[in-house]
Amino acid sequence: MADVLPIGTILAVVTNQVIKTAHAAKDIVIEKESFRILSDHLFNIIHVLKELEIHKLNESPITRKALKNLETDVKKANTLVEKYKNRGRFYLLIRCRNIVKEVQDVTRDIGKSLNTICLANTDILSGISDQVTRLQNEMQRAEFVISQSQIQILDKLDQGLASHKHDNGFANDIIMEIARVIIELLSQADAARDYEQVKDQYMQRLGVIERYNSTEESIPPFKALICGITKSVMVDPVSLSNGTAYSREAIEAWFGSGEKTDPVTDEPLEDLSFRPNIQLRQLIQEWKELNNCMIIRSCKPKLLSENNLSVKDALSQMQELIKENSINKDWISIGGLTELLINILPRLRNQQVKTEVLVTLKNVVEGHTRNKDLLVENRGFCHIVPCLRCGSSLLKAALELIHELVLEESSRNMDYTKELSQQCNPVSFLVTILKVSEVSLAEKAQDILQKLIDIDEETVIIAAKEEWYEPFVDRIVQGLILPLLEMASADLEAKELSLSMLAKLLTCSENKKLFTSAGAVPLIVDLMCSSHLLSPILARCSEILEKLSSNGDGIKFFVDVNGAQLNLESLVQNLLAFIQDSRLPYTVLRPVLRVLLKICESEAGLVKTAVLTASGVSLVLNLLDHIDSETREAAINLLFLFSNHEPQGVAEFLLKPRRLEAFVGLLESSNKNDVQKAAVGLLANLPKSEVILTRKLIELEGLKAIIDILESGNSEAKENALSALFRFTDPTNIEAQKIVVQLGTYNLLVDFLKNGSVTAKARAAALIGDLSMRSSELAMISKKSHWRCSCFGHTHVTKCPAHGGICSVNGTFCLLEAKAFPELVKLLHGEVHATTYEAIQTLSTLVEKESPRKGAHVLHESGAVVPILEVLNWGSESLKVEALEGLEKVFMLTEMVDWYGATARVPLVRLTGGSIHEDGHLHRKAAKVLLLIERHSRRSMSLVNGFTG
Which comes out higher in pLDDT, residue 700 or 611?
Answer: 700
Which comes out higher in pLDDT, residue 129 or 212?
Answer: 212
Q: Say if CB 433 and CB 395 are below 8 A apart.
A: yes
Give the DSSP letter string of 848-912.
-SSS-HHHHHHHHHTT-HHHHHHHHHHS-HHHHHHHHHHHHHHTTSHHHHHHHHHHHHHHHHHHH
Helix (H, G, I), strand (E, B) or coil at 777: helix
Predicted confidence band of residue 325 (pLDDT cuts 50, 70, 90): confident
pLDDT for the residue numbered 867:
95
Q: Of 76-80, 575-579, 669-673, where does mean pLDDT reach its minimum?
A: 669-673
pLDDT digits (tens, 9 = 90+) for 783-823: 655 544 444 444 556 889 999 888 999 999 999 999 999 99
Torsion of CA 500, 504, 505, 507, to 10 degrees: 140
Burial class (CB in 10 A: 0-12, 13-18, 19+), 821: buried
DSSP state of 566: P
Q: Is the pLDDT of residue 110 over 90?
A: no
- Torsion sign (Cα): 434, 440, 443, 447: negative
DSSP state of 246: E
pLDDT for the residue numbered 846:
95
Please compute the mean of the pLDDT values over residues 614-630 and round it to a whole number. 81
Q: Phi and psi for 457 in degrees, rounded to 5?
A: -65, -20
pLDDT for the residue numbered 788:
47
Percentages (nearest 5) of helix, strand, coil residues in the chain: 75, 0, 25
CA 935 centroid distance within chain: 52
CA 705, CA 664: separation in Å to the nearest integer?
A: 7
Q: Which amino acid is at 150?
A: Q
Please compute the mean of the pLDDT values over residues 271-280 and round it to a whole number. 87
HSE-up (13 A, CA, CB side) for residue 551: 9
> What percentage of the chain carries pLDDT values higher than 90?
31
Q: Of 476-490, 827-841, 876-890, where does mean pLDDT reach its minimum?
A: 476-490
pLDDT for the residue numbered 947:
36
pLDDT for the residue numbered 696:
92
pLDDT for the residue numbered 938:
62
Q: Is the pLDDT of residue 36 over 80?
A: no
Q: Is the pLDDT of residue 411 over 60?
A: no
Q: Phi and psi for 646 in degrees, rounded to 5?
A: -150, 85
Please compute the mean of the pLDDT values over residues 374-394 and round it to a whole number. 87
Quick one: 307-474 is in which CATH superfamily? Answer: Leucine-rich Repeat Variant (1.25.10.10)
How far the first Cα of the chain sits from its last, in Å, is 98
pLDDT for the residue numbered 606:
80
Q: Is the pLDDT of residue 162 over 70?
A: no
DSSP bridge partners of 870: none
Q: Of 18-27, 317-326, 558-567, 588-597, where does mean pLDDT reach its minimum?
A: 18-27
Predicted confidence band of residue 354 (pLDDT cuts 50, 70, 90): very high
pLDDT for the residue numbered 508:
78
HSE-up (13 A, CA, CB side) for residue 892: 16
CA 100 centroid distance within chain: 22
With a CB cutoff of 8 Å and minimum separation 6, the contacts of 401 are 358, 361, 362, 365, 384
Question: H-helix or E-strand containing 274?
Answer: strand 274-276
Which comes out higher in pLDDT, residue 460 or 564?
Answer: 564
Q: What is the C-alpha R_g of the chain?
A: 38
DSSP state of 800: P
With a CB cutoff of 8 Å and minimum separation 6, the contacts of 568 are 555, 558, 599, 603, 606
Burial class (CB in 10 A: 0-12, 13-18, 19+), 564: exposed
pLDDT digits (tens, 9 = 90+) for 166-191: 555 555 555 555 555 555 554 444 44
Burial class (CB in 10 A: 0-12, 13-18, 19+), 196: exposed
Predicted confidence band of residue 28 (pLDDT cuts 50, 70, 90): low
The angle subtended at Cα 572 by Cα 567 and Cα 577, nearest 5°, is: 130
CA 504, CA 481: separation in Å to the nearest integer?
A: 11
Q: Say if CB 353 and CB 218 are below 8 A apart.
A: no
Q: Is the pLDDT of residue 125 over 70?
A: no
pLDDT for the residue numbered 333:
92
Q: Of 127-136, 603-612, 640-649, 848-857, where does mean pLDDT reach its minimum?
A: 127-136
Q: Phi and psi for 447 in degrees, rounded to 5?
A: -60, -45
- Torsion sign (Cα): 101, 102, 105, 110: negative
Q: Phi and psi for 268 in degrees, rounded to 5?
A: -65, 140
Which comes out higher in pLDDT, residue 331 or 611?
Answer: 331
CA 517, CA 177: separation in Å to the nearest integer?
A: 56
Helix (H, G, I), strand (E, B) or coil at 270: coil
pLDDT for the residue numbered 662:
84
CB atoms < 10 A from the CB of 925, how many?
Answer: 21
Q: What is the biggest distance separating any 2 CA atoms in the chain, rounded to whole angstroms?
A: 112
**Closest to 622 (Cα-Cα) out of 585, 649, 600:** 649
CA 818, CA 815: separation in Å to the nearest integer?
A: 5
pLDDT for the residue numbered 792:
47
With a CB cutoff of 8 Å and minimum separation 6, the contacts of 119 are 62, 517, 561, 562, 563
**Closest to 927 (Cα-Cα) out of 942, 912, 913, 941:** 912
Question: Which of the given ranges, 118-127, 469-478, 649-658, has the highest pLDDT on average?
Answer: 649-658
pLDDT digits (tens, 9 = 90+) for 586-611: 888 888 898 888 888 887 778 877 77
DSSP bridge partners of 565: 559
**Closest to 401 (Cα-Cα) out of 444, 442, 348:** 444
Q: Give helix then strand counts, H and E, for the chain.
A: 50, 3
pLDDT digits (tens, 9 = 90+) for 896-949: 999 999 899 989 988 887 544 445 788 889 999 999 998 877 655 554 444 333
Question: H-helix or E-strand containing 402?
Answer: helix 392-407
CA 498 centroid distance within chain: 40
Question: Which of the given ranges, 105-119, 146-160, 564-578, has the highest pLDDT on average?
Answer: 564-578
Which of 486-509 are b and which e, b meaning 16 or more Cβ less than 10 Å from the residue's Cβ?
A: ebbeeeeeebbebbebbbebbeee
CA 20, CA 16: separation in Å to the nearest integer?
A: 6
Beta strand 237-240 with 274-276 is antiparallel
Please compute the mean of the pLDDT values over residues 515-533 and round it to a whole number. 82
Q: Is the pLDDT of residue 193 over 50?
A: no
Please compute the mean of the pLDDT values over residues 298-309 and round it to a whole number. 91
Mean pLDDT, the chain, whole residue set: 82
Q: How far is CA 680 from CA 354, 417, 566, 670, in A?
A: 59, 55, 33, 12
Q: How far is CA 163 from CA 97, 155, 252, 947, in A?
A: 21, 12, 21, 52
Q: Is the pLDDT of residue 388 over 80?
A: yes
HSE-up (13 A, CA, CB side) for residue 180: 18
Q: Is the pLDDT of residue 192 over 60?
A: no
With a CB cutoff of 8 Å and minimum separation 6, the contacts of 64 are 3, 7, 10
- List, in sequence order, every beta strand (DSSP E) within 686-801: none
- If you classify domain 850-948 with CATH, what class do you get? mainly alpha
Q: Say if CB 809 and CB 817 are below 8 A apart.
A: yes
Give me the helices (H) in 437-491, please. Answer: 439-455, 458-465, 470-487
CA 207, CA 510: separation in Å to the nearest integer?
A: 59
pLDDT for the residue numbered 155:
65
Please compute the mean of the pLDDT values over residues 202-210 and round it to a whole number. 88
Q: Say if CB 775 and CB 812 are below 8 A apart.
A: yes
Q: How far is CA 554 from CA 79, 191, 632, in A?
A: 40, 50, 21
